[in-house]
Amino acid sequence: MTQLFYLADLFGVAVFAITGALMAGRKSMDLFGVLVIAVITALGGGTLRDLILDNHPVSWIRDDTYIAVATLTAVGTVLWVRLTRPIHETGLLIADAFGLAVFTVIGTEVAMQHGVPLSTAVIMGVMTGVAGGVMRDVICNEIPLIFKKEIYATACIAGALVFIALRLLETPHWLDTGIAMATVLGIRLAAIRWHFSLPRFHLLDRD
């Protein structure tokens, strides 16, 4: 089970690294820029969570598999695109939803292990899931997409709440994890399929 979770975590890292590399390509960065943006997208959320929770050593400091997976995936993405294979957009969105589900559950669990208030654990789960993408967009000089597009972070919030509820009910760990991940995945995939989105807050600029 732990082994399976570790593999899912690395899969999440790889998927997020792909989205980072593609964004860097849209900004015509050089190869180093592609690697940095890929690594930040993949590991930024977990790093911020660990710094705020004082959870040292940070995962990728201890185990360099994380960096290796992110780097190799970024290089692979560049080669794939250069060979003019198109990116399968839908496949990427589904993979991204899976990565989001894994990261959210991991983030919520790590926070609970630190005995923080439950509302804080929800925030840590969401942060782990989305902060890497926010950093990617900020560095690439874009307003973060997740604040505008279809239900995204809301799926994380729901997944974190489900996970916490099941933990409190003391259901088996594999069941908590599975149901919480399915919640994130299900909401996110439904939002992509039917273009659900939250209401926007428009404020005219009167400056």
| Residues near a copy of itself (CB under 8 A) | 21-22, 24-34, 36-37, 47, 51-54, 56-58, 60-64, 67-68, 78, 81-82, 116-117, 119-120, 123, 134, 138-144, 146-148, 152-154, 197-203, 205
Distance in Å, CB of 175 to a copy of itself, minimum: 27
CB-wise, 63 or 175, nearer to a copy of itself? 63
CB-wise, 6 or 174, nearer to a copy of itself? 6
Distance in Å, CB of 177 to a copy of itself, minimum: 23
Q: For residues 179 and 3, what is the distance between their CA atoms, to the nearest angstrom?
A: 18
Distance in Å, CB of 90 to a copy of itself, minimum: 14
CB-wise, 71 or 177, nearer to a copy of itself? 71
Buried b (16+ CB within 10 A) or exposed e, 192-202: beeeeeeeeee
CB-wise, 165 or 173, nearer to a copy of itself? 165
Q: For residues 122 and 104, what is the distance between their CA atoms, to the nearest angstrom?
A: 9
CB-wise, 135 or 180, nearer to a copy of itself? 135
Distance in Å, CB of 32 to a copy of itself, minimum: 5
Q: For residues 156 and 142, what is the distance between their CA atoms, to the nearest angstrom?
A: 22
Distance in Å, CB of 1 to a copy of itself, minimum: 26
DSSP string, 58-115: -HHHH-THHHHHHHHHHHHHHHHHHTTPPP-HHHHHHHHHHHHHHHHHHHHHHHHHTT
